[in-house]
Structure formats: C-alpha cells, structure tokens
Structure 1
C-alpha cells in the first residue's frame, strides 16, 4: 500500500496515461480519415464529371431534362428552400428559371473525395448581379446524384480585404 497521497496520485496518473496511450483513436477522435482505405481515383473522377455535366446542364443551360436521369429516385436535398426528390427539384427550378432567365453559375473549382463531389461556384441572377459564392456538395451513389448540401454567401459590394471570394 502506498503511504503518501503524492505516490497514489502519481500511480493513478501513470495508469491513466497508459490506458489513453493504448486506446486506438476512433473516427470521432480525429478529423483525419484513416489511411488504410484505398481511393478509387477513376471512380472519383467519374463522379466529378457526372456532377459537372449535371450542374452545367441545369444551372447554365436551364436543361432540367437531365435531372430525371441523373438524380437518384430517392434524391435527398438539404437546401431548406428546395424539396427532396427528382420531380420536386425539376418543378422548383423550372419556376426559378422562368423568374430568372439570365441566371448562370460558373464553376470556379471542383474536387472529389470518395463518393462526395465539391463545387465552388459563382452564381448570378443576371449580368448586373454581383451574385453569390456557393459551395455545393453532392453525394454520388451508383452513378446517380443521391444527396446535396450547399453553403451560400452573397458577394458584397465592398470587402474588408482585397481578396476575392473566388
């Protein structure tokens, strides 16, 4: 039996440190994904090309016909203004483009990681519009767009710095 409180605390701290050090890190412990998985770069590029083709057709050519072939039947939409599902998506953007016939979205950059495709976009309603900076995230499953998230930020007239949003 340890006779001093200091020795008891030191032993308890050592035991706790040994326990923590021997515990493998979980996904919740780190934002860095495990490096054991092999990426399928060809599939990621195929997913990226699919999303870019879809995005340009819908948001630049206003061709919503592609949506019925590219969106998954159970397409999940996370933008709170747009309903989930392919038919509701088509209906929503048909009305949107009637009201905004000059709307365009320029893809500034894109990336893919696993089943996710990321687009950084400059979207405008007309040529005079400063527009919005958008990050769109798509999840692709079996060659179909299965899910979508976006973050939208208006392009301000004046910025506190000299950097652009693109």
Structure 2
C-alpha cells in the first residue's frame, strides 16, 4: 500500500503527540484561573460585574438559552433566581468532580441529581459540564450541554 495514499488501520497519519506531563503550562494556569473566575466567582458567588474585566465583549455563547456577548451573558445570568453576590471564597460552593485543561480550553464537570420525571419518588444522577475558551487573556467562548428550554404553555390551555 506504500505510495497509494491509503492509511493503515490503527495507525494515525498524524505525527506523534506529546502527552500531558501532569504539569500545567503558564497558559494553562491562566486558563484554569479564568475559567474558575467565570464558573465559581461569577456564577456560584454571583459576581457578574467581574465579566467586565474578564470576558471579551464579543463572548460566544453556545448555550441556546443565553444571548450572545458579554452584556447578553450578564443580563441573562442576573435573572437567575437566587443569584445574589456573596463574599467570594477560595472554595467552590459546588466543586467540579473533573477538571481538564488543554491550552486555552477548560473542561469542568459536575455531578447532579434530579427527580425522575416518570416517577417523582425516584432520582437519577447526571452530569453537567462547562467548556470555556480563552483568547487574548479574555474569556471568549463557552459550551455546555444545554438544549433550548421549552416555551411556557399559553394561558387558558
């Protein structure tokens, strides 16, 4: 098969990659700090004003329920019930169970429990995740598992 351009099964055509040594680079330390500022300080401790110094004005939001841009993020998150500013502490209110950092990307995952919609006496476990991308020392982009929230039923139906 040499010279035919075919790829051997099980052999990557890409060069070998360097595996993570378990030590974060300076860029990855900054990525972790900025993702923590958004997900812990802004969302868990309610300090949305931090977005003005840490988020790009053109913040890209992949959650279909949250408007685009830094201002859209702040407006949406300020309407979340119970989100009032509290003293920021070093510890998380609800710490992620998994954190992965790769260059400008941060992936954090949390365990959740919810009522079974078919049987309210039972609960099920699921995972929530957030991915944050840093660009030019600002939080530029966010992903999570959210889907479009269903519209509220019309009155009188």
TM-score (norm 1): 0.61
SS at match of 1:74: strand
The alignment yields a C-alpha RMSD, in angstroms, of 3.7
> Is 1:151 matched up with 2:145?
yes
1:43 matched to 2:37:
no
1:117 maps to which of 99, 106, 113 = 106
Task: Structure 1 unaligned segments of length 5 or more: list them.
Answer: 1-16, 24-28, 154-166
How far does residue 52 in structure 1 lie from its aligned partner after superposition?
A: 0.7
- Whether 1:138 and 2:132 are equivalent positions in the alignment is yes
Alignment TM-score, normalising by the size of structure 2: 0.64
Matches of 2:112 and 2:69, distance apart in 1: 23
**For 1:94, which of 75, 78, 82 is the aligned residue?**
78
Instruction: Report the secondary structure of 1:107's partner residue.
Output: coil
In terms of fraction of residues, the more helix-rich structure is 1
Shift of the alpha carbon at 1:106?
3.0
Distance 2:58 2:35 in 1: 17
Q: What is the Cα deviation at residue 80 of structure 1?
A: 0.6
Distance 2:35 2:13 in 1: 25
| Partners of 1:118 and 1:137 within 8 A in 2 | yes
CA offsets per residue over residues 20-42 of structure 1, 9 Å max, x none?
4687xxxxx95978527x99711
Instruction: Describe how 1:1-166 pairs up with structure 2 within 5 A.
Output: 17-20=1-4, 35=17, 41-96=25-80, 99-101=81-83, 105-122=94-111, 133-151=127-145
Aligned length: 126
Which residue is 1:160 aligned to? none
**CA distance in structure 2 between the aligned counterparts of 1:122 and 1:33, rounded to whole angstroms:** 36
Unaligned runs of 5+ in 2: 85-92, 115-122, 148-157
Q: Could you say which structure has the greater relative contact order, defined with CA pairs below 8 angstroms and 6 or more residues apart? A: 2
Distance, in Å, in 1 between the alignment partners of 2:57 and 2:126 is 29
Asked whether the 8 Å contact 2:45–2:83 carries over to 1, the reply is no
